[in-house]
Structure 1
Amino acid sequence: MIASLKKKVKTLANENDELKSINLAKEENSNEIEVDLLKNEVAYLEKENRNLKEKIEALKKTFSKFSNSSEKLENLLGMQRCVFDKAGLGYEEMNNVKLYQTFFERKERIEKEKVEKVQTKKKIVKTLCDYCGKNGHTYFTSFHKKNAMFKKNLNNSCNFCGKHGHTSSQCYHKKNAIYKKKINVLCTHCGKYGHAFSSCFYNMHFHLASIKETICIKKE
């Protein structure tokens, strides 16, 4: 009985050792696989990092080219002479060079001074009304004058219609009556309404023709 138990214990111990060795082998294998995966991932990230660095360097070069070209252009424009620079033979040209930048700055300063002068003139000049003697408006836009004229028109009475507020020269009824009278007038020369014999166009034309005929007869 004891011997059989010892055999079982020994077999179990051997199985346990085998299982441990198997587990260790599996763990080592899985660790190796994981390490390989991590190595591959690190290599990929390093490659991607190198590519990004190369792109950044290329962009830096292009930006430096643009900045250098803009600086060169500014220098060239600054070194060019203006059209009014008369330097030639026998002159020290570099001393007579006028930069575009200073020319434009001077022009802007002159324009600004002109605008400021105009504004100061506008502030100094004050409009004076000849009617009421107050500043800020003219004779034609005076409120006091318009008010006085309005009151005067109210007090005036029309000699034609007898109403207040206007004169006979401004009377609508008088103008309407004159217009109707002209329409009803009959011309004795042409027989048309709207004008008299003295203002008839055909009568005047007839007189001119007769005068021309008499002149021609006298010449003959």
Structure 2
Amino acid sequence: MLLSSLTSGQSENNNACACLSVLYLLLEKLRARDQLVAPDDLALLRNSIETATGILNCKYCPLRYFSVIQNSTLLGILCVCLAECYARVLRWIDNEERRASGTGEQKRLRIQGKHIDANNFVQPAQPNGPPLFLGDVSPGDWRNLMRNIVKAEVFGVEGCKENCFISLIERLEARQRRWHQEPPAPDCPPSYQSSCKPPDPPPTCLVIIDDAKSLVDLLGF
């Protein structure tokens, strides 16, 4: 994971972390992608969610007010960015389906999976290894399959939802409500404390999270 690689070697007594650097790297990596395609780029988004989850659980960020603000704001912005990235993937899927339908082209479907070697050990899937399934499908069927894959990445599937995108948003929202109700850092100013409900104005971090949730709603699942 990107987070662990950047924080390795740091002393636990430093009360410091690399979360800010990691978040900026994630945002820049997503910003730099001119096009996001399915299924290839879903791994990038999945890895970003995994790294963000590690930052969400950082034990150093809550120790100082400045890092509390950085962590919460940038994680919220990352969620907005990820929601927009999933929308871009869906637009690409729709455009690719229209292109293939217009030219009468079939879409090649390649499914990788784990393999059992000669010693009956399970080996992870290799990108260039033999596929479990390889075949041609109609553009319409391909579009439906790709959209269902994206939906599973966003919302998870029954029995496996803890690592999906919406789970990250929900965990971040719950944490921010806890932090505002009981400020985690001793130097948090009195203005940071909030009930997160009327008549208190909504904290900026929750406004950003609401923006991310609105973008998820617009995905149309």
Task: Report the TM-score, using the length of structure 2 for normalisation.
Answer: 0.19
Higher RCO, Cα 8 Å, sep 6+:
2
More strand by share: 2
